């Protein structure tokens, strides 16, 4: 590759700096009292149980041999909802299950209410009318209508046996976004709904029906058309994205194989306070130390390494936060933060390989351009091989320690969650290093040599 102009380094530096600022600090604005997030930064990260604590709920089955099947359903619900850091501990001797949900989960419900939903029996019913016995205010400050009464309690039009699964979608009209829960029926359920809501003969056409999850009403629409497409989409004034995801996860996973009784609800404290602040400050100090070391060792060439490291940090952080728009971030734990640090050190190692080989060439009297080319060429295979191998190892870790009940029973929920969190972050760090550890230093070093041809400017002898 020919020598590049200094403008390449300037453009890359500006783009990387802009992306890094947004990735670390984020950007949001207020319209009145409503906050709109455009880009999510470090402060938006949802931290796991070890950093921010959580809520623990314990349930018990009538006989101990039923608890393993219950745990499988609860685990499937947690995965469907997107909980990458929740602890499920099963005591098969006592027939008891403990589910811990992190406090910082981005949901309109509190952690304890999310845990309650995930461990509920999960029976979906569609009933006529919308009569209820009690009304309360849930943790999302919305009205919760509890226990059907009268005709609503007596008649069940559709049960969980008639449901095949669930999904959700959003609909935007005139700048307003509405969230809908989609209930998909099996063949029997589809026939029932088509009969009930037929525009000519249906008993419940142009009538109000209600959708219940156990004893909680989640919507009460009025039927305005024949429901003959095998699905029903419902919403409500209090329906949000996170609620749709939670309802959908419970419905799609089906009911528990047996009824459970609630034993206790308690709070789990984090390992220590201000852990996220400690991680941020430690990372900032580490970046300064890395830059100082690079400047001392590689002089002008250090800036290529620094911007490569900055891009690596920002890119992995953007994956963790989701970067653009609202919504949950990846639940980062201390093992995940360690993987983030390892991803940054992987780029430091990659640049150091190029830098050391470039420097050894300069010390033998090789001109700057040739030394840079040699350093890049001799380091390529090691950098690419290391990145690919680590990505494959991380991918295996994600599959082995993701939703497997076998690994959970062998290693325990805490270990399994930690390994998955570590593997997830490391996978993206390894993939990004193909660009940040090889391509970016290559472009910037070839560009920086346009400023000077002195070997001492790149760490060679004066």
- Report if residue 80 sits inside a domain: no
Model confidence over 226-251: pLDDT tens digits? 999 999 999 998 899 889 999 999 99
d(CA 209, CA 219): 9
The token pair that represents 155 in the structure block: 């008649």
Element (H or E) spanning 134, and its range? strand 132-137
Task: Report residue 403's pLDDT band, with 50, 70 and 90 as the boundaries.
Answer: low
Handedness of CA 83, 137, 168, 226 (dihedral sign): positive
Q: Are residues 227 and 279 in the same domain?
A: no
Helix, strand, or coil (residue 261): strand
d(CA 210, CA 222): 9
Q: What is the pTM of this model?
A: 0.78
The end-to-end CA distance of the chain, in Å, is 26
Name which of 118, 117, 133 is nearest 76 in CA terms. 118
CATH code: domain of residue 368: 1.20.1640.10
Question: Could you count the other beta carbons within 10 Å of the beta carbon of residue 426?
Answer: 26
Is the per-residue pLDDT at 156 higher than 90? yes
Q: Are residues 370 and 411 in the same domain?
A: yes
Task: Report residue 420's pLDDT band, with 50, 70 and 90 as the boundaries.
Answer: confident
d(CA 426, CA 391): 7
| Separation in Å, CA 243 to CA 72, 142, 220 | 22, 11, 16
Domain end residue (candidates: 230, 255, 280): 255
Q: Are residues 212 and 299 in the same domain?
A: no
- Report if residue 107 sits inside a domain: no
Q: Are residues 35 and 161 in the same domain?
A: no
Domain end residue (candidates: 228, 255, 282): 255
What distance lies between CA 343 and its chain's CA centroid?
18
d(CA 7, CA 12): 8
CATH code: domain of residue 184: 3.30.1360.200
133: Cβ contacts below 8 Å, ≥ 6 apart = 146, 147, 148, 149
Domain end residue (candidates: 196, 220, 255): 255
Q: Are residues 240 and 292 in the same domain?
A: no
pLDDT of 47 reads 87
d(CA 168, CA 183): 8
Task: Report residue 409's pLDDT band, with 50, 70 and 90 as the boundaries.
Answer: very low
- Report if residue 88 sits inside a domain: no
Phi and psi at 403, nearest 5°, equal -115, 10
The token pair that represents 31 in the structure block: 């319209």
Model confidence over 184-219: pLDDT tens digits? 999 999 999 999 999 999 999 999 999 999 999 999
What distance lies between CA 322 and its chain's CA centroid?
8
Question: Residue 143, CB half-sphere, CA atoms under 13 Å: how many?
Answer: 8
Q: Are residues 221 and 286 in the same domain?
A: no
Q: Could you list the residue range(s) of the whole structural domain that residue 186 is in? A: 122-255
Q: Are residues 362 and 405 in the same domain?
A: yes
Is the per-residue pLDDT at 406 higher than 50? no
β-bridge pairing 124-128 and 132-137: unpaired
Torsion angle defined by CA atoms of residues 372, 373, 377 and 382, in that order, rounded to the nearest 10 degrees: 10
Q: Are residues 447 and 324 in the same domain?
A: yes
Q: Are residues 277 and 191 in the same domain?
A: no
Helix, strand, or coil (residue 50): helix
The C-alpha angle 354, 358, 359, rounded to 5 degrees, equals 120
Q: Are residues 243 and 306 in the same domain?
A: no
Q: Are residues 415 and 307 in the same domain?
A: yes
- Report if residue 329 sits inside a domain: yes
pLDDT of 415 reads 58
Is the per-residue pLDDT at 416 higher than 80? no
The token pair that represents 29 in the structure block: 């604005």
Q: Are residues 299 and 333 in the same domain?
A: yes
The token pair that represents 24 in the structure block: 């670390």
Number of compact structural domains in the chain = 2
| Separation in Å, CA 342 to CA 37, 213, 228, 233 | 29, 44, 54, 45
The token pair that represents 374 in the structure block: 């040699």
* Burial environment of residue 176 by CB neighbours within 10 A (0 to 12, 13 to 18, 19 or more): exposed
- Report if residue 106 sits inside a domain: no
What residue has token string 């919507």?
A: 219
- Report if residue 40 sits inside a domain: yes
- Report if residue 99 sits inside a domain: no
Phi and psi at 450, nearest 5°, equal -70, -20
d(CA 383, CA 311): 17
Handedness of CA 298, 304, 310, 311 (dihedral sign): negative
- Report if residue 360 sits inside a domain: yes
Question: Edge-to-edge strands of the sheet including 209-213?
Answer: 124-128, 209-213, 216-219, 143-148, 132-137
Model confidence over 341-361: pLDDT tens digits? 999 999 999 999 999 999 898
């Amino acid at each position: 590759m020919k020598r590049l102009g200094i403008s390449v380094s300037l453009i890359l530096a500006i783009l990387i700096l802009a992306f890094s600022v947004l990735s670390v600090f984020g950007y949001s604005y207020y319209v009145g009292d409503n906050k709109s997030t455009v880009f999510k930064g470090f402060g938006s990260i949802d931290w796991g149980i070890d950093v921010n604590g959580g809520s623990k709920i314990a349930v018990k089955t009538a006989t101990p041999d039923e608890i393993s099947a219950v745990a499988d359903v609860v685990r499937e619900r947690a995965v469907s909802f997107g909980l990458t850091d929740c602890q499920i501990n099963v005591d098969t001797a006592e027939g008891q299950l403990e589910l811990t949900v992190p406090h910082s989960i981005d949901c309109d419900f509190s952690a304890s209410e999310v845990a309650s939903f995930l461990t509920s029996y999960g029976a979906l019913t569609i009933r006529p009318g919308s009569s209820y016995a009690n009304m309360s205010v849930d943790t999302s400050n919305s009205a919760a209508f509890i226990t059907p009464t009268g005709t609503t309690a007596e008649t069940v039009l559709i049960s969980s046996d008639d449901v095949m699964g669930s999904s959700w979608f959003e609909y935007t009209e005139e700048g307003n976004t509405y969230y809908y829960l989609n209930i998909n029926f099996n063949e029997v359920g589809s026939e029932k709904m088509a009969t009930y809501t037929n525009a000519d003969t249906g008993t419940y056409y142009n009538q109000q029906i209600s959708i219940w999850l156990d004893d909680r009403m989640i919507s009460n629409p009025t039927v305005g058309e024949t429901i003959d497409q095998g699905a029903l989409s419902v919403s409500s004034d209090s329906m949000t994205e996170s609620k749709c995801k939670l309802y959908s996860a419970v419905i799609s996973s089906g009911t528990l194989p047996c009824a459970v009784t609630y034993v206790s609800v308690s709070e789990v404290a984090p390992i220590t306070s201000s852990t996220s602040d400690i991680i941020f400050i430690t990372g900032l100090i580490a970046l300064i130390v890395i830059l100082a070391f690079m400047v001392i060792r590689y002089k002008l060439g250090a800036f290529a390494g620094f911007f490569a490291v900055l891009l690596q940090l920002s890119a992995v952080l953007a994956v963790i936060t989701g970067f653009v728009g609202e919504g949950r971030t990846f639940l980062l734990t201390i093992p995940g933060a360690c993987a983030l640090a390892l991803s940054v050190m992987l780029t430091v190692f990659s640049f150091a390989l190029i830098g050391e080989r470039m420097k050894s060439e300069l010390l033998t009297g090789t001109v700057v351009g040739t030394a840079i080319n040699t350093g890049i060429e001799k380091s390529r295979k090691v950098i690419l091989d290391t990145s690919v191998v680590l990505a494959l190892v991380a991918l295996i870790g994600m599959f082995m320690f993701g939703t497997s009940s076998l690994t959970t029973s062998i290693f325990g929920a805490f270990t399994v969650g930690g390994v998955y969190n570590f593997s997830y972050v490391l996978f993206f760090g390894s993939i990004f290093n193909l660009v940040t550890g090889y391509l970016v230093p290559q472009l910037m070093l070839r560009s920086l040599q346009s400023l000077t041809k002195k070997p001492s400017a790149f760490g060679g002898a004066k």
